[in-house]
Amino acid sequence: MLPHKNSFRIDKDKVVYILINYSAYGLNFLSGLILARKLGPTNRGIYAYLSNLYVVAAFLISMNAKNASSIAQSDLIVNSNSEVNKLKIIKIYLVAAAVTCILSVIYFFYLKNFLDTRLVVIFCLANLVNSLLVVIQIHEGMLRTNNELQKLAILRFLGYGAPSLIVIVLFFFKSVEIELLVLAQSVAVLSCFLYVSFRLKTSVEFSMEKFRENAIRTYVSTALEFLIYFMPLMFVSISEDFAYIGHFVIAFGYVLISETYYQIIESKFYLSLSSSEGRKSYNAIALMKQNVRNLFLSQLVFIPGAYLIPVLYGTDYSESTKIALILILYRFLIAIVKLSNIYFNLVLKKFKFPIIQNSVHVATAMIAFFYTELFTGRTNPWIIAVIFSSIVISLLLFVLLNKKFSKMGQ
């Protein structure tokens, strides 16, 4: 794929991908209204708390399989030869299953101290289904590198939309109970697993060694990206009151919609760099500039929509508009960094650089946050922390990439 082609061009695959994702977000919005009305503040808080634990478990259990699979698949495309010792998914799954069982036991003894035992047992049993995530993410990584957007869209719809559909069904049957909602998360994982197992015809051709090596090399940087992604929520939870957190959650949900096009750009970037032409220095420069420009344009579209939040949720949520605009800027800046990390991992094989870069990002944000919180007396210190750290890292990255590309072009 030549870099001068405009990846922002709207084609059938992109349209289908966006429409399927937005239908899932629409269901998510509707289910969110149902949960807010039916559960009440306390149960809604318990459900959100358990959902966050579920997300943490999902990250740990998947063992960085998506990134490892994407890089291994890209190397396979460049070398165009299948490996002899092919990855045996069942071996990876058994490891994930063991990790899942350990996490469920830990969660049980931790949660039983302050939650109903019946609810804790149901949650821990539902968490066991997370072991299937490693299989899902291996296939998702290959689909991402191969730029198979429609299949990726279906996976994302099942992941985001299935729980929302269950909430809507429970609403019609007047059975919106927290125990059943916890099970809805595992239904989403199970539906994705059934799709990749029985509907996808994707064979694994890369080796176990390549997969394991890529998983280990990129794990720390991926974990730091995960932390960077949730840093605003973490800082807000520390410094703000419950009313402000409520505004933040509404804005955070809206910004998830603005990230849909990034998945398209990311997949196209993987595909472009998975060719010998795409890995040449002059093409790499063009690809980076092109994708950053397209990313910027995609985010501009969502700025006016942020002003509709008070219209949809009520004037009490006008603060959410400002928060959403700040989060859009933050996500745009860290998305640039994520694209650069793909280049360092995939092409240059400099796996330590993203680790250093993300570590500096986290450290800068934490220093800025605690300095602002403890010594300046400013309100909403999370804003200064996340924006300052992301701008610093983006500027540093720009300087380093310019030097790198200049040397390669000489």
In this structure, what token pair is assigned to residue 168?
A: 């809507």
Most confident of 7-11, 48-52, 53-57, 201-205: 53-57
Express as a percent the part of the chain with pLDDT over 70. Answer: 89
Q: Hey, is 314 helix, strand or coil? A: coil
Neighbours of 296 (CB within 10 A): 12
Residues composing the chain? 410
Q: How crowded is residue 297: how many other Cβ atoms within 10 Å of its Cβ?
A: 11
Residue 327: the pLDDT is: 93
pLDDT tens-place string over residues 188-226: 899 999 999 888 877 888 888 889 998 998 898 888 888
Mean pLDDT (whole number) for 4-29: 69
pLDDT digits (tens, 9 = 90+) for 264-279: 788 778 877 776 565 5
The mean-pLDDT minimum among 22-31, 199-208, 217-226, 399-408 falls in 399-408
| pLDDT for residue 24 is more than 90 | no
Radius of gyration over alpha carbons of the chain, in Å? 21
The predicted model gives 74-79 an average pLDDT of 81
Count other C-beta atoms under 10 Å from residue 50's C-beta.
23
- pLDDT at position 160: 81
Q: Concatenate the DSSP letters of all residues of 351-403 into one string.
A: THHHHHHHHHHHHHHHHHHHHIIIII--S-HHHHHHHHHHHHHHHHHHHHHHH
DSSP for 222-270 reads HHHHHHHHHHHHHHHHHHS-HHHHHHHHHHHHHHHHHTHHHHHHHHHHH
CB-based burial, 90-103: b 16+ in 10 Å, e otherwise: eebbeebbebbeeb
Q: What is the pLDDT of residue 409?
A: 52
Between 44 and 114, where is the model more confident? Answer: 114
Residue whose C-alpha is closest to residue 231's, from 370, 325, 342:
370
pLDDT above 60: residue 410: no
Strand, coil or helix: what is 86? Answer: strand
pLDDT of residue 284: 66
